[in-house]
Structure 1
């Protein structure tokens, strides 16, 4: 059987079909990654430029082909600059799926984490839940970010270093309404409260509910390009929400939140 097919003067092989399927798969993944963000409109515009380029090249229009070719050559650098956060998130997600990632079969087979005791993590979860339940009862606004594999980058000039053990009393005192550390986010890394009064990037996702405040938008913003978990206690309604992977889950129960904390702090390493 002949493996090469002549199509409009071009040689078409089965590898070309595989090439096309891979490109379609990558475009779908990029769509899912950018959906709901302002960068999505830029992505659509660039995609239209590429489609136009292939069309005018196929129609043998040399002037437009050269113009678009030069635009595309320069556009590669522009894409890296514009989509730097999205590229970082894509690589982060891709890294989780590698054979040696913590969630992979090989990692679970060869690493001794499955024999590890998680008493420290369970204690941290309980301390967080106790603090949130009390702040929910008193309608004390709070924003807690739990960093996992991604080292947080934040404005150190405006934040206050804490470097203290995770405890419900310390969390409550930080977010107490008259505390100077009340505004901003609290960052937990490992078994330590790293910093408080942290200013986070605000999400520009137009699909977020219009009634949500700055805390919720900041929670979504810090999780759009990282694998962190952000927990929010609403000062107005006393409700509890969390953000993960750029998605906002509102009005969750303490039981559901505890399950999510177990998933992030324990199941993610088991």
Structure 2
């Protein structure tokens, strides 16, 4: 038996190792994409269906097996429809990989320039938080947000804290939507965003928070939320939300992200999630 194992190992080529590594990586990325989504439960149901189909075949339950096999044939098309959001996220994740890396957050690499732009955003967020004025600010990164920009009022204005504050003043035409920022420009206000379908969120989270999570599920954007009930500052990224951030923490998280210090940003977000309700 040991000799047979040695013979098998000798037949393994470099191509086989690469082949296995690629499949393992794809499966790993697939699991990451569907984790804690509706697709995870659907996948479990699919596994059960496959097992039941095989059992019906072994037990010679011909009618049951016939129906299940036909259901599986139709199910391939159904799966493409059901898994459409997850497939879209997987393809977008591939497009944002290092191989295709191109940073669309158009700010000079000078730390001073980055701090100036993000400083305007944070100053506005601080005022809105203290005044308990609800706000949703989305910062575009590599994934374009034109489809959401088109749902709002086009502005293409230079960022300033005063303009951001005035946009969210209650009972004004643009206060009830999202502001989308690209580079150092406010592209549009009053934008409509997709709501998350996640069932694992706190009941305290309202439409703004769900919209913020939703847009970060379909893109790599960052979304800053100010609660109008409590003034709480939250940050959403990659379909996850960190709540109860102070302005200092928010500023450092944003700067670290746009300076490509991903490990530092992740630690701040982990801290935020740990202190979330």
TM-score norm. by structure 2 comes to 0.76
Question: Displacement of 1:118 after TM fit?
Answer: 4.6
**Where in structure 2 are there 5+ consecutive unaligned residues?**
263-277
Q: Which residue of 2 aligns with 1:205?
A: 198
**Any idea what the Cα deviations from partners look like across 1:184-218, whole Å, max 9, x if unmatched?**
11111122111111111111211100111111111
After TM superposition, the structure 1 = structure 2 runs for residues 84-233 of structure 1, keeping only pairs within 5 Å, are: 84-99=84-99, 101=101, 116-152=109-145, 153-154=147-148, 156-157=150-151, 159-233=152-226
Q: Which residue of 2 aligns with 1:40?
A: 40
| In 1, Cα distance between equivalents of 2:43 and 2:149 | 29
TM-score norm. by structure 1 comes to 0.78
Q: Which residue of 1 aligns with 2:269?
A: none
Contact 1:220 1:247 in 2 (8 A): yes
| In 2, Cα distance between equivalents of 1:17 and 1:70 | 36
Question: Displacement of 1:143 after TM fit?
Answer: 0.3
Question: Displacement of 1:166 after TM fit?
Answer: 1.2
Contact 2:143 2:219 in 1 (8 A): yes
**Any idea what the Cα deviations from partners look like across 1:124-149, whole Å, max 9, x if unmatched?**
11110111111111111100011111
Question: Displacement of 1:68 after TM fit?
Answer: 3.7
- Secondary structure in structure 2 of the residue aligned to 1:154: helix
Question: Displacement of 1:96 after TM fit?
Answer: 4.0
What is the aligned-residue RMSD (CA, Å)? 3.6
Contact 1:36 1:206 in 2 (8 A): no
Q: Which has the higher helix share?
A: 2
| In 2, Cα distance between equivalents of 1:4 and 1:73 | 40
**Any idea what the Cα deviations from partners look like across 1:12-38, whole Å, max 9, x if unmatched?**
x97999989977765554444333333
Question: Displacement of 1:70 after TM fit?
Answer: 3.5
Q: Which residue of 2 aligns with 1:110?
A: none
